[in-house]
Amino acid sequence: MRRRALPVLAATGAWAVCLMGAAPAAVAEDVQSKQWYLDAMQAQDMWKVSTGKGIKVAVVDTGVNPSTPSLRGQVLNGRDLAGVSGGAHDDYDGHGTTMAELIAGTGKGGGLKGLAPDAKIFPVRAALSSLKNKPDEDTIAPAIRAAADSDAQIINMSISGVDTTPQIEKAVEYAASKGKLMFAGTGNDGDGKSRSEYPAAYPEVIGVGSVDSTGTVSKFSTHGNTVSVAAPGSDVPKWCDKTLKSYCDGQGTSAATAIASASAALIWAKHPEWNANQVARVLVGTTDGVMENRNPSKYVGYGAVRPRLNLLEGKGEPGNPKQPAFLGNGDFDTSKAAFEKSAGAPGKGEEADSGKADAGSQDESAKASSGDNSTLWTSLGIAAAVIVLGGGAFAFLRARRG
């Protein structure tokens, strides 16, 4: 059941961040009003129960600048594996700082408000495609190992590449053996070839797809049996560039990955006695209607994440801490055969008990058809069709995909 890595040595430049699209900059004072998913996820209510305190998230990315108003006091020392001048706090692109703010930003100074605002960030800087004068050697593998050796419980990898290396595969396996819960973006080629991308394609990693504010899969979101869950990725603000002077409108599975990681942080902080197996089981067990049939969709996996169901309603069974959440005990089947049972692309989610929609229902005729990779999909005025989120998947699965 275990898919092996592609036998291709990837050039360092092939590893890219999963955030795409840039529209005219939004001033910092307005950026929180653009974080539509916070209301959809009932963040204010969840923060009364959990803010992610006590949880550390390793962000394998372009570095994280700890001096933005929203990240002051939130960022740990970290590690630098990029092989160029600077350090873990020197963000050469702005992408890593965006991911850190989406996870643990305080929102001070009008900056991005993280979904887990009391979590801490452990930055691990690697050489990605946006870095000029990249070293020839692979820096992704040592970056993942550095994250695994830290005391961070969660590893966020908002990066992807079509090719991979045996070293990266071994690093992912090492992180899994250390009990880390790993998330990675599936990529932004959903309206193209939609090929499997790594590290999301590894069975130990939770692949995260993107949905928009109507609960529909984002057209750009790469699909296939690498998708475990989905999270908001359309119309999510980002830092425009490495100068960190202004925010832009953005989209991509990078943002979805950060929000999924933050969702896990909220649940883990509420239940610090749980391990990764149990957090994963509850994350998956509280996703939307796709879970009812236990059949994953190639577009949204088991559905959109909804941490509120555990935090506010006490739903989700952690189960045996030594037992995997997937094929090992039959809770969830993410084999190739399971994906083949699912219908086509999901349409808008079914109405939830809150009167808002959850992403992930499957309807071939309702496949997302508006917008493209350079177009922002704004549907913020559709109050009755926003997403309510809260799920995830498991880091240790040794047999997650066919």
Q: Are 305 and 311 in contact (CB under 8 A)?
A: no
CA distance 261 to 157: 9
Among 160, 213, 228, 254, the one annotated catalytic: 254
> What DSSP line would sit under 35-50, residue for residue?
-HHHHHTTHHHHTTT-
- Of 114, 118, 121, the C-alpha closest to 152 is 121
Q: Which two tokens stand for residue 187?
A: 């990529």
- Of 133, 123, 114, 101, the C-alpha closest to 38 is 114
What is the distance between the terminal CA atoms of the chain, rounded to a whole angstrom?
5
271 is catalytic: no
Instruction: Report cis status (omega within 30 of 0) of the bond before 237.
Output: no
Among 90, 91, 95, 331, the one annotated catalytic: 95
Neighbours of 85 (CB within 10 A): 9
130 is catalytic: no
Question: Among all chains, which residue has been given the structure tokens 């933005």?
Answer: 68
CA distance 307 to 314: 10
Among 61, 189, 212, 358, the one annotated catalytic: 61
254 is catalytic: yes
Active centre residues (catalytic): 61, 95, 254
